[in-house]
Chains A and B, each alone.
Chain A
Amino acid sequence: MSSKDSPAAPVEREKTTGLHKGDIVPGVAKVDPIIIADGIRRTFGGLTAVNVDHVEIPRNAITALIGPNGAGKTTLFNLLTGFDKPDAGKWTFDGHSLAGMGAHKVARLGQVRTFQLTKALGLLTVLENMKLGAKDQIGENIFRGMIPSLWRKQEAEIEERAIVLLKKFKLDAKSSDFAASLSGGQRKLLEMARALMSQPTLVMLDEPMAGVNPALTQSLLDHILDLKDEGMTVLFVEHDMHMVRHIADWVIVMAEGQVVAEGPPDQVMKNQAVIDAYLGSHQDVDLGVVTGRIEGELNTAAIDLAEEVKELDANIAKRKETGK
């Protein structure tokens, strides 16, 4: 990687455009989709957590998946990555049908994920965490593992790659510490760096910024942007609209399990369905900032949103009356 960008003065990088075909509606076809999902449904008892008719994720672009808490974003991630089984539906990744495939096989195909609740392996060192991420390790077979001469060379290569990535994520000074000793934000970084060790084609990040100290946020954003430059595809869940607007090329909005809107970030933010989706959930923090309940910085997107919020006040009141 080049060192063209310094975290102090982020360069606004160019957005990828022209990702879709035809009119922008929820479920619009993409020019070059990496994931195509059809009829995915997942219910928990009586609750329909995910009910997506059709969605396509564009290749080599950064797609943000947004929506209020409980919209089904994490559940959709779990389904797409094989950590959960849908009641119905099929989907392909890079042309491979993934329905019914176990999580480890999905990951081997190059679709790796991180978790909303960070999973750093606490009692492994930071470097061991990283090495674990590498694919196709000879020494991971129990018999070959007993003969170090078979895997030493590969191990050295993996370690070299891990150190480069750790430097990039500013974790190199910690490489021999237990991951348990890292701060919450550093663990998020480690989890992401570890996922990159597997040289994936699609990186799925579930709330990568949650709990990350603001000083680290900018560098994390830069890392995500770098992934695209390196030819990867990114799908990430995020609540902070400022960040979404800053880095996403495409935004997909979920509410109550469905895809209610999608499009390029500036267009989606103005979309009625998006505002409705967010107003449908009173727990959302960004909404708190928008409506002034919580102190926070209003960016242009939020100001736009705030104005529309006011206009919609009457609308909400009516909704509440009808008991929805």
Chain B
Amino acid sequence: MDILQILSNTGSSLIAPATIGYALAALGLAMHFGFTGLLNMGMAAFMAIGAYGYAISILTFGFPWWGGMLVGIGGSLVFALILGIPTLRLRGDYLAIVTIAAAEVVRLLFLTTTFDKYTGSADGLSGYHASFRSFNPIPDGTYGFGPWEYNANGWWVRIFGIAVLALAAFILWAVMRSPWGRVIKGIREDEDAVRALGKNVFSYKLQSLMLGGVFGAMGGIIYALPASVNPGVYVTSLTFFVYTALLLGGAATIFGPIIGSVIFWGVQTLLSNLLPALVNIGVLPFMTTTQSQTVRFILVGVALMLLVIYRPQGILGNKKELTFVK
């Protein structure tokens, strides 16, 4: 068992593009669920729309990388409108059902062979990196130390991702400390009371859905930025994983979703390296290395349950401020 390699992989995962992508999506869910009380169970679709919007506009329409990102963001705004206008007048639980269904529709649209020319159906999309990499200001070479040693492209993706994440966290912080954020938190508590004070609750919920949706789309883009767009990623369990990261850190906080995502990916990477290694040296004789990968996800489920039961406010949350087990 190569302990150093396991630790190195784990350390590297802390700033991996996937981790940054999750953190952005979790910030989106903090906006939706943590602050507004909208139970959006379709975050995977926002991420898919971001990633596909980016890749398709580059591959099919020859857009530059930033144009592709704008298309991904625009797509998520349109999706938020389509999703929100019919459902935001309904009470919370309906939104959960509709979003989960809408996310499946989106995923299947990207998966179907009908649009194979654009989406690559089951193969997904790849080979859209040239434009983004051509903007890389970092000279060729390898930089960093220990687990964090990457080439110029590796750093460019990470630095860009962290910058986007920082911007998103700043925007979320700025709007939530404003009177706008006060209305949003009021809606989470009781939307009729807020309506009775003359606020257009529907419009605020739609704005929240759109802003959080843009964060999700950017998360999807950063996730896909270094490698490929794979339709197997944007399944409903992706939404649940992002929720796990969110609840781990604290749903109604700004840094909670980021810390939660880092811990989530750190633990995931640690387990996915450690469990097979333990099986191989005979410490876990009752399972195979393949089974150990499944155990990882069982542990995520158990962790989510324990979290909701014993620490619903997450690591950074204030127990008084958010216990969604009201």
Contacts and interface: CB of A to CB of B under 8 A. Distances in A.
Contacts, number: 105
A83 B190 CA distance: 14
Interface string B175-202: 1011111110110111011111111110
Contacts of A195: 196-197
A135 B179 CA distance: 11
B207 interface: yes
Contacts of A212: none
Contacts of B182: 124, 128, 131-132, 140
B251 interface: no
B192 A104 contact: no
Contacts of B171: 146
Nearest to A200: B198
Contacts of A108: 198
B174 interface: yes
B211 interface: yes
B187 to A, nearest CB: 9
A178 interface: yes
Interface stretch (A27-35, A111-119, A247-255): A111-119
B180 A141 contact: yes
A292 interface: no
Interface string A63-106: 00000000000000000010100000000000000000011110
A39 interface: no
A211 interface: no
B211 A124 contact: no
B196 A103 contact: yes
B209 to A, nearest CB: 12
A139 interface: yes
Nearest to A109: B198
B321 interface: yes
A261 B123 CA distance: 75
A146 B175 contact: yes
B200 to A, nearest CB: 5
A81 B185 CA distance: 23
B322 interface: yes
Contact of B320 (A105, A132, A178): A178
A114 B196 CA distance: 8
A193 to B, nearest CB: 12
A142 interface: yes
A142 B196 contact: no
A1 B211 CA distance: 43
A102 B321 CA distance: 30
Contacts of B195: 83, 102-104, 107
Main secondary structure of the interface of B (DSSP, over half): helix
Interface string A114-138: 1100011111100011011101011
Contacts of A132: 182-183, 186, 194, 197, 199
Interface residues of A, number: 42
A194 interface: yes
A119 B180 contact: no
A123 B196 contact: no
Contact of A131 (B177, B179, B196): B179
B196 A146 contact: no
B183 A140 contact: yes
Contacts of B190: 119, 121
A148 B178 contact: yes
Given A107-B196, A121-B190, A151 B179 contact: yes
A198 interface: yes
A31 B318 CA distance: 55
Nearest to B185: A124
Contact of A81 (B175, B183, B196, B320): B196
A155 interface: yes
B88 to A, nearest CB: 14
Nearest to B201: A104
A120 B193 CA distance: 8
Nearest to A107: B198
A119 B198 contact: no
Contacts of A7: none
B326 to A, nearest CB: 8
A231 interface: no
Contacts of A139: 178-180
Interface in A215-234: none
A121 B191 CA distance: 9
A184 to B, nearest CB: 16
A145 interface: yes
Contact of A145 (B179, B199, B200): B179
Contacts of B193: 115, 119-121, 191
Contacts of B181: 145
Contacts of A120: 193
B271 to A, nearest CB: 35
A123 B321 contact: yes
A238 to B, nearest CB: 19
Contact of A135 (B194, B198, B321, B322): B198
20 contacts: A105-B198, A107-B196, A107-B197, A108-B198, A119-B190, A120-B193, A123-B322, A124-B189, A128-B182, A129-B186, A131-B182, A132-B182, A140-B180, A142-B180, A142-B211, A145-B174, A146-B175, A178-B320, A194-B197, A198-B197
Interface of A: 81, 83, 102-105, 107-108, 112-115, 119-124, 128-129, 131-133, 135, 137-142, 145-146, 148, 151, 155, 178, 180, 191, 194-195, 197-198
A-B pairs, top 7 by smallest CB distance, nearest first, are A145-B178, A139-B179, A107-B198, A145-B180, A119-B193, A121-B189, A108-B198
Interface of B: 171, 174-175, 177-183, 185-186, 188-190, 192-201, 207, 211, 320-322
Given A83-B192, A124-B182, A145-B174, 7 more contacts: A103-B195, A104-B198, A104-B201, A107-B197, A124-B186, A139-B179, A191-B193
